[in-house]
Every structure is written in C-alpha cells, then in structure tokens.
Structure 1
Amino acid sequence: MLAGAPSSSAFAQDRQVPETRQQVSLSFAPVVKKSAPSVVNVYGARVERRPQNPFMDDPFFRRFFGDGGFGVPREQVQRSLGSGVIVDADGLIVTNNHVIDGMSEVKVALADKREFEATILLRDPRTDLAVLKIKAKELSALELADSDKIEIGDLSLAIGNPFGVGQTVTQGIISALARTQVGVGDAQSFIQTDAAINPGNSGGALVDIHGRLVGINTAIFSRSGGSVGIGFAIPSSMVQVVVASAKAGAKTVRRPWFGARLQVLTADVADGLGLDRPAGSVVASVVEKGPAAEGGLKRSDVILAVDGIAVDDPESFGYRFATRPLGGVTSLTVLRGGKRIVVPIKLSPAPETRPREPVTLTGRSPLSGLTVMNLSPALAEELSVETGNEGVIVGAIEEGSPSARVGFQKGDLILAINGERIATSRELETATRERKRSWEVTISRGGKTVTSVFGG
C-alpha cells in the first residue's frame, strides 16, 4: 500500500458502534459548546390592517359600546418565530424563507442574549432558504460540512428554539438521504433525521459530531404538530449555493440552467429499456439552443447520474444539477438506445432574452390586481415554471383584488384574452383597459391549458 494512502480500516475508525460502558457514557457537550453559539433565534413581525365592524363608524355605537366593544382593531401585529445559523463571522445568517415570509421587521437574538435588527439580503422560495445580515463582527460561525459525504446512521444534533422555550439541543441519527416529495420548496433533496424537531426549530442547525453544519432544519412529518422522529433538513450543499449568491450581492440565487423538461421513469418503461429498477428521469422535451440541446441531449434519453452520482427521479436530478458550480461542465450518464453514454452539459445561468417589463393591472377586469411580466428562461427558472420564451406570466397577486377572488395563481401563464393572443405585458395592459360584459381568459397552469369565462 502506498505511504499516506488511507486504508479501509482507517475509514472504519471514523464510524464505530459503542462497545463499552465508557464509550456509551461519552458526552456531546464539546460539540454543543462549539456549535451552539452559532445558532440564533429569529423573530419576524408585520402589521396587518383589518376591517373594522361597520357599526363602529357610527358615533352612537362607539359611545354606547366603547372603542373596545365589538369592533375589530384596525391594525393587528402578526409574528413569526424560528431559528437561524451564523455562517459568516461578519453577520451573515441563514434561516428558512417561511420563517420571515411576508415579515416587514426581522430581529435576531444571539445565544449571548444580544439582539440586532436584521436586513434581508436574499429570499429563495425554491429552496425555502433566506439570508439575513446583522451589524456585528467576529461572530462564531459554523463551518459547512460536505453533505454529500454524510451517511445513513451517522450521529446528528439538532439545535434551535422549539416553541420559543429557548435554545434546545436534541440528538439522533441520519435516518435517510435524498428524500424528495416532502412538499417544501421545489429544488430539494432532504436529509431525514430522528433528532427531535418541533415548531420553532425551523431555520436551525443540524450538525455532525464535529460541530459542522450538515443541514438547515426545515420541516417535520407529524399528525399532531409535535415531533414523531421524522424531521427534514436542507443539505449544506444547497445552503452553500444560496449563501454564495448572497455574498455576491445577488437578490436571487443564480443556478445553472438545464433547458429540458423531465418525467419520472415508470416501471413499465424501465422494463422495456432493460433496467432492473425504475430509477432515472426521462427527457420529455428539450429547449432549442439551451444547454441540454447544445450538449446533445435528446428526447426520450434517460438520465441515470450526475457526475457519477445516481439520481432516481427528476427532483433528485434537480438538486444535483442546481448545486453544480456555474461556469464549468457537468457530466450526465444517459441511457440511449440501450447503451450508456456520457453527455457534457455547460453550467450557465438562464438568459434574460427580453426585458421583464412588470405591469400591475388595474381597472374593472377580473385580472385587476395582477402583476405580470414577459416570460424568459431566466424568469421561468426563477418562478419554477416550464421554460419558454414567449407569454405573459403572473408574478404577484394583490391580496383581496378581483384577480385573487377569481382564483389566479402566481406562475399562471396568460396566453389569450377573448381569443386574442397576448405576447407582452404591455399588450395585456392595453387589452384589460376596455370595459367588457364578459372576459374569456386562456391560461397555462401546471402544463395544462384552461379557458375560463368571467363576468365584466
């Protein structure tokens, strides 16, 4: 054996089952002392205006019942509570996007009881991650582990602020890897752990026995609302991508663009292709002049691995591809015509092929309250919709507006109004200025085209 080369026994020494009482009585206290100062509490707040009981506009009722009678307060403060992790000594903190979603004010409380106002540098709903910044220096930051190197059965510690009781540490193991279909975000491959995770733990740290961050605790599976030993964490590899974008000053996360749509490989198709199990993703369509097309990927190809790492479904492929660094090339193992080939794909961001030109629609149409933009590959990637170069997409919906009441959703692609094709946001704005007795609106949602008729 070459000098300096690690032996199989050396690897075995990294992971051992306790064999003696002394080994069982070992403590995780040194790990906690190292990592706990890097885990913070995150508090969010926003003021909501609520309609007051119309009777309270009458001076008689106000005098008779008083201002605290049966009127609903005009303003109500909504609050959120979660955890966060310091990932840079100069004040960068990672938390879950759902912890601060919609919050206008965010505060961070450190383990040493100091509190700071936080600035939101970046939100990424796709991964349910957000990056905050506080004005503090020389903080204790957690080192990010390589989440691709953890194994099922490894010990793990979850640190956070469950139910607002204060910083709490729970211990367990890595129960599973590459969990998809969890229902949180759409660019995920979760780490599963049985370390107790409860409401308030969101955004907290999942660390290994060396005190390194392996994941951000995000969700639990529970029928009661409390921990039943099934918790999920966003791997540190994805955290690294989001933090790097924030450090670069980006307002959105820059990811490599694939330029193809994938489908799940069914058992019948796998059997027809001679595969022993239905693991992989079938290429359903390829965008012209996109990275996949330029690399030579074709419709009906089956993607089996990314850089040699197996991917069982479109979700796990999406995670692997999204965590590849921009500017390089990734190698896909592809099954084509019964043969395995390697297809190189350039890792470049989705292009902004035309200006977005956001427009907020007003007036008396059923589309009033929508903010619409011109679709491009970059915007499609941002909003997690099928890639396209034409069309007008819904980017936001005003709460309580006519468009919200009739059921429009963020990501809807508006194709036509009263039979007339719509190509740009300005065309849609012009089309909705006119008063009509009825509106026939054709949209694309989730790959399906639907036409609905609304009254004027």
Structure 2
Amino acid sequence: MTYRTIFIASLIVTFLISCKAQSNNGSNDNKQELALNENIVNKLSSTNNDISNSRRNAITDAIAICSPAIVGINVTEVRQVVYRNPFFDDPMFRRFFGGNQGSSVREYEVQGLGSGFIISPDGYILSNHHVAGNASKIIVTMTDGTKHEAEIIGSDMVTDVALLKIKGNNLPYLKLGTSNDVIIGEWVIAFGNPFGLFDRNAKPTVTVGVVSNNNINILHQDSPYNRVYKGMIQTDAAISSGNSGGPLVNSLGEVIAMNTIIYSTSQNRQGAGSIGIGFSIPIDRVKKIVELLKSKSQIDRDYYTGIEPRELDEQLARYIGSNLQEGVVVFGMLNNSPAEKSGVKLGDVISEIDGYKILRLEDYLIATGDAVTGQTLNFKVLRDGKEQSVNLKLEQRPRR
C-alpha cells in the first residue's frame, strides 16, 4: 500500500469514527455505513497492491504482441568513387597527354544496418529509404533466427520510405494504426536494431517513452532530392543508430509512426546515440507512400517550378518596396516555365502554398519538395499589397 493510499484510508476511517462518536445510540444505519466504507477502503488497498506488484501492464502486453514482427536489416550497398593517379597530375604529363588521363571510376561495397517491420502475412516490410533504398543486397533477420533475402518493391528518397518484401506465408505482422489522433504525453514504444544488436540474439531492442510533440516539419538537404519530413512525431523513447525503419507503437500495439531521425550530441564510428530527441514519420503519411510504391515502385519527383526563391530580409524588402518582414520572394524565374505560365510575377512574395504558411526559404522547400510531376499547387502571393491566388502545375524538368 502506498503512502498516498494509507493517508486516504486513514482520513476515511477517521471521518467514519468521528461520525460514529457523534451518534448517541450508534444506530444500525451508521454501523452499516461504516462497514460499507471500510469495505471500499479495503478494495482500494487491494487494487493498489495488485497494480504495484504486477509486472505485466499494457506496455509489456504490446511488446509481446509486436516483437515477432520486428526484423533486423543488413544491407550491402555499392558505391562509386572517381580515382585519379597522382602521377597524372604532373603539369608536364598533362601538357603532352591531356588532363583526362589516369582517372577511373572504382566501385566498393559498404555494409549497413537498420530496422524494419512486417506489415502483411505475405511478407511486405517497411523501412527507411536511407536504410535500404540503394542496397544491392538486403538480408532480413526474423525473431526466430531465420534469415531471408529481401527485394525492394519501391523506395522514395524524398519521404524516406522503402517497401521491401520477403517470401513467406502466415508471417507475424503489425497492425497499422493512425497518427491523426496522437496524444501529446501518451506512452509509446520504439522497436529496432540499434548498433546491430538484433544479430546477437534475434530479438529487437525496446525503449519506452512518450509522445513529446507532433506535427514538426524538417528539411534535410540532399542530392538529387531533398528529404522532406512533414508532420513528424517527436518522442523521448531512445532511438539510436540502427533504429531507423523500426516502428513507433502505442500502448495498444498499433503502429503510429516509423522511427527515422535523432538529434545527437555524440557521433562515433558506430553511429549516433540518443539524447531523448527522436522523430518518426507519421504512419498515415507512410500508408500513402506505400500504396504509390506498390503500383509504381518509384515516385516521379523530377519536376520544377521555374522559380528562383529568396528569403525576404530587410534589404530585399526595401528593394521590392514591401513592408513585410517574413516570406519568400520570387527573385528570378525561367522563361516558359510552370511559374511563368501560371501567372507568377517577379517580386511576388509567396505567403502560402497549398495551405502551408511560407515564412522562410525552408518552408518553401518543404511545401514544394514532396509533390509529384503533374501535380497542381495553389500559391498565395502578395503583389502590390494585395493577395493573389495562383495555380501552378508542376512540369517535367527540362533535359539539358
């Protein structure tokens, strides 16, 4: 019995005793009331002891349900590097033989690891693009110790989602929940393969925390496309290198997100460690990408707007004669581009794209970064002090 329960129980008993003392004759009604309330106190005490002494709860139940569907992923990726013999950098040699001699492209293999989870009994697996999207070989380890070679069904760099598949039937799989009703402060469980520990005993590592925040947008600049993380769920459940691609699960055992990014102050050869700030892709966003990847295997992101955007600052605001302090200016524009065709003008201040507020250049890159070729985006622009609405259809990027 906790001190709090003892205190409450003693107050109730004291109150009942004092009531009894005020009665001259100690009526049967008072005796029955005293007995009833003492019974309630005893039941509260018993329930409290059951909770505190039990080792099983909603969290442990969810872990038991989900663990069989978690997989460790080991990948082999082939990368290319341009090698140049220093001998051919000699000016005398280059004078007679030209400057392109001695260069060669060499390939080398890189080993990597990450996490994933089975989402169907026939072997579909979710993970991150940065884990498995560019792999030449993928080996998946199940919790029964068996290893399977996986194929890439499709992968999208921009949203960082990869869909894999292994052969099998009646495989354990996770229920995909929803990320629309996530509650700040609710308990969540992160599963994964941090630092390759899954290979030690074929069991996922489990960490528990809460939803710290949600609906966070993050831009990771990369090539050939930026990674656009929209509506991310933040958690303090420990996520470390190797956890990428694992599920974030609520206390009901439903997947609400996929673990993807961590903020870390330390980095070594094995990767980064957790400081309690991790971000996961909301599962509702992942579901949409999965359906596209199943039908197309690759999402066409090779589009352009034709706009040269620039973040508004004090100097630029004076130059265009604007009193605004935040926004993105159309500083340049390609001829015959989607922007020009749509009616966008030089000097327009972009304030909103498809309902997404544009205050900084990063906002513009996020709002336009995860569209698809042929999609139409609605731009709200400020021109001569008035708001204009422009529909801009994204076109295939011209070939050079």
| Fold-level similarity (TM above 0.5) | yes
Unpaired runs of 5+ in structure 2? Answer: 1-47, 80-106, 199-203, 267-271
Query: Which of 329, 342, 345 is equivalent to 1:295?
Result: 342
Name the structure 1 match of 2:213: 175
Amino acid at match of 2:178: A
After the TM superposition, which residues 35-46 of structure 1 pair with which residues of structure 2 at under 5 Å, given as runs? 35-45=66-76
Q: Which one-letter code corresponds to 2:75 in the other structure?
A: G
Greater Cα shift, 136-145 or 214-223: 136-145
- Structure 1: gaps spanning 5 or more residues: 1-20, 49-74, 352-376, 378-388, 392-456
Aligned partners of 1:336, 1:150: CA distance in 2, in Å?
A: 39
Larger Rg: 2
Q: Which residue in 1 is equivalent to 2:236?
A: 194
2:303, 2:373 within 8 Å by CA — same for their partners in 1? no
Deviation readout 1:16-44 (Å, 9 max, x if unpaired): xxxxx89x986334444554444321111
Q: Deviations over 1:317-349 (max 9, x none)?
A: 444445557766443332222222322233x5x
Residue 175 of structure 2 contacts residue 253 of structure 2 at CA under 8 Å; is this kept in 1?
A: yes
Amino acid at match of 2:245: G
Partner of 2:163: 131
Inter-CA distance 264–240: structure 2 relative to 1 (3 Å threshold)? farther
Q: 2:59 aligns with which of 4, 12, 28?
A: 28
Contact 1:189–1:235 under 8 Å retained in 2: no
Distance 2:342 2:183 in 1: 33
Q: Which residue number corresponds to residue 3 of structure 1?
A: none
1:226 aligns with 2:273: yes
Q: Within the alignment, does 1:332 sit opposite 2:374 as a pair? A: no
The residue identity in structure 2 corresponding to 1:104 is S
Q: Distance in 1 between matches of 2:317 and 2:175?
A: 43
Match of 2:247 in 1: 205
- Paired residue secondary structure (2:176): coil
**Within 1, Cα distance between the matches of 2:374 and 2:174?**
28
- Residue of structure 1 equivalent to 2:36: none
Structure 2 CA distance for aligned equivalents of residues 120 and 107 of structure 1: 11
**Residues 1:313 and 2:313 aligned together:** no
Instruction: Identify the residue that residue 176 of structure 2 maps to in structure 1.
Output: 143
Which runs of structure 2 are paired with 1:36-435 in the superposition (5 Å)? Answer: 36-45=67-76, 78-100=110-132, 103-139=135-171, 140-143=173-176, 145-146=178-179, 150=182, 153=185, 155-166=187-198, 167-170=204-207, 171-175=209-213, 177-182=215-220, 186-189=226-229, 191=232, 192-209=234-251, 211-224=253-266, 225-236=272-283, 238-250=285-297, 252-255=298-301, 257-259=303-305, 260-266=307-313, 269=316, 273-275=322-324, 278=326, 280-323=327-370, 329-346=376-393, 350-351=395-396, 377=397, 389=398, 391=400
Q: Bigger shift: 294-303 or 28-37? A: 28-37
Letter in 1 for 2:168: A
Which range moves more in the overlay, 138-147 or 297-306?
138-147
**Residues 151 and 328 of structure 1, relative CA distance in 2, 3 Å threshold:** farther
Superimposed CA distance per residue, residues 112-167 of structure 1 (whole angstroms, 9 cap, x where no aligned partner): 544321012334344443322212244424426346x6576555432211122231
For residues 291 and 265 of structure 1, what CA distance do their matches in structure 2 show? 22
Give 1:39's aligned amino acid: I
* Aligned partners of 1:162 and 1:199 also within 8 Å: yes
Give the CA deviation at 1:87: 4.0
Range with greater deviation from structure 2 (320-329 or 81-90): 320-329
8 Å contact from structure 1 (residues 180, 316) kept in 2 = no
Residue identity in the other structure for 1:253: I
Whichever structure has more helix as a proportion of its residues is 2
**1:339 corresponds to which letter in structure 2?**
K
TM-score, scaled relative to structure 1 = 0.55
Give yes or no for contact 1:152–1:177 (8 Å, CA) kept in 2: no
- 8 Å contact kept, 1:31–1:211: yes
**RCO greater where, 1 or 2, for CA within 8 Å and sep 6 or more?**
2
Compared CA separation, residues 336 and 40, structure 1 to 2 (3 A): farther
Amino acid at match of 2:206: V
Q: TM-score, normalised by structure 2?
A: 0.62
| SS at 2:227 equivalent | coil
In structure 2, how many angstroms separate the alpha carbons of the residues matched to 1:339 and 1:44? 54
Structure 2 CA distance for aligned equivalents of residues 318 and 241 of structure 1? 21
User: 1:354-388: per-residue Cα shift (whole Å, max 9, x none)?
Assistant: xxxxxxxxxxxxxxxxxxxxxxx1xxxxxxxxxxx
For 1:265 and 1:109, the matched residues in 2 are separated by 50
- CA distance, structure 2, for counterparts of residue 38 and residue 83 of structure 1: 11
Secondary structure, in 3 states, of the residue corresponding to 2:296?
coil
Measured at CA, do residues 99 and 328 of structure 1 come closer, stay the same or move farther in structure 2, by a change above 3 Å? Answer: closer
CA distance in 2, matches of 1:208, 1:144: 9
SS in 2 for 1:180: strand
Q: Are 1:304 and 1:312, in contact at CA under 8 Å, matched by a contact in 2? A: yes
- Structure 2 SS opposite 1:243: helix
User: 2: distance between equivalents of 1:173 and 1:210?
Assistant: 14
Taking only the aligned residue pairs, the percentage that are identical comes to: 32
Instruction: Report if aligned partners of 1:151, 1:174 keep a CA contact under 8 Å in 2.
Output: no
Deviation at 1:194, TM superposition (A): 2.1
SS at match of 1:248: helix
- Alignment root-mean-square deviation, CA: 3.9
CA separation of 1:125/1:46 partners in 2, compared to 1, >3 Å: closer, same or farther? closer
| Paired letter, 2:382 | L
Q: How far did 1:78 drift?
A: 4.9
Q: Deviations for 1:233-269, whole angstroms, at most 9, x for unmatched residues?
A: 344455345423321133x322484513333333665
